[in-house]
Amino acid sequence: MARKKSNNVTKASIVRVATEKFLRAGYSATTFKSISDELGISTGHITFYYPTKVHLLAVLVDMLCQFQWQLMNGPGDEHEANLSAASLELTTMAAMCEENEVARDFYLSAYTQPITLDIIRRNDAARAKKVFCRYCPDWTDDMFAEAEVLISGVEYATLMATESSPPLDVRIKGGLEQIFKIYNVPEDIRQRLISSALQQDYRSMGRRIFSEFIEYIEQENELVLEELLEITKGDE
């Protein structure tokens, strides 16, 4: 039992260092060696718990999903708040990726790895069912899951800017339009939501939300470690 608890502390320590490096130095720039050097353990010790760097990215994407659920419900009418949150989520994600190379690396990596993309699709299907159920009353869980296969492609295309890509606002408008159409949102509501999103200072919002996400990850990691260390200490 003591060994198991010690293993849990080691795993939590690896997650803390890895996820914070992903969000500050960049996922692609972070190596197992840089994580092991900071922890003072071998890379083999890390791969015993997390065989590849993608498995650590999956932990961070799971935490991103939890963070996104927290952003959904705002003040006022729940349905309106959730629709606004859905439109602003893609808007601010695209702004983050446009301005911040670390954020861009994180999101594009998450959308191109099968393990993490599957996490995103499952989570987004559950949230879409909550947000768009009014417009898709007869949809099954499988239908929401199938829709997210298409939508994840739309989201990736919105985030993945190249030299020949349209400007940020055009990509956002096109991405939101396609997503809302898939979920049968009426045209007048689509246009209102898209117009409202584009009128926001979404670049500043993107910077703020990414900063809040980093803070959330660091706080969650510290909380988990503190709890595990207390449990371990109590058994001594």
pLDDT (tens digit per residue) in 148-184: 999 999 999 999 998 899 999 999 999 999 999 999 9
Q: In the structure encoding, which two tokens stand for residue 152, read together?
A: 């994840």
234 falls in which pLDDT band (50, 70, 90)?
low
The whole-number pLDDT of residue 230 equals 76
Q: What element of type H or E holds 188?
A: helix 187-199
pLDDT in tens, 36-57: 999 999 999 999 999 999 999 9
pLDDT in tens, 177-219: 999 999 999 999 999 999 999 999 999 999 999 999 999 999 9
Q: In the structure encoding, which two tokens stand for residue 179, read together?
A: 């997503």
Q: Which of these, 119, 114, 93, lies nearest to 104 by C-alpha position?
A: 93
CB within 8 Å of 40: residues ≥ 6 apart: none
Instruction: Report percent pLDDT > 70 for the chain.
Output: 93
CB within 8 Å of 111: residues ≥ 6 apart: 117, 120, 152, 155, 156, 159
**Model pTM score:** 0.92
Using the CB atoms, write b or e for 152-181: b if 16+ within 10 Å: bebbbebbbbeeeeeebeebbbebbbbbbe
The whole-number pLDDT of residue 226 equals 86
CA dist., res. 183 & res. 131, Å (int):
10
| Contact present, 233 and 5 (Cβ < 8 Å) | no
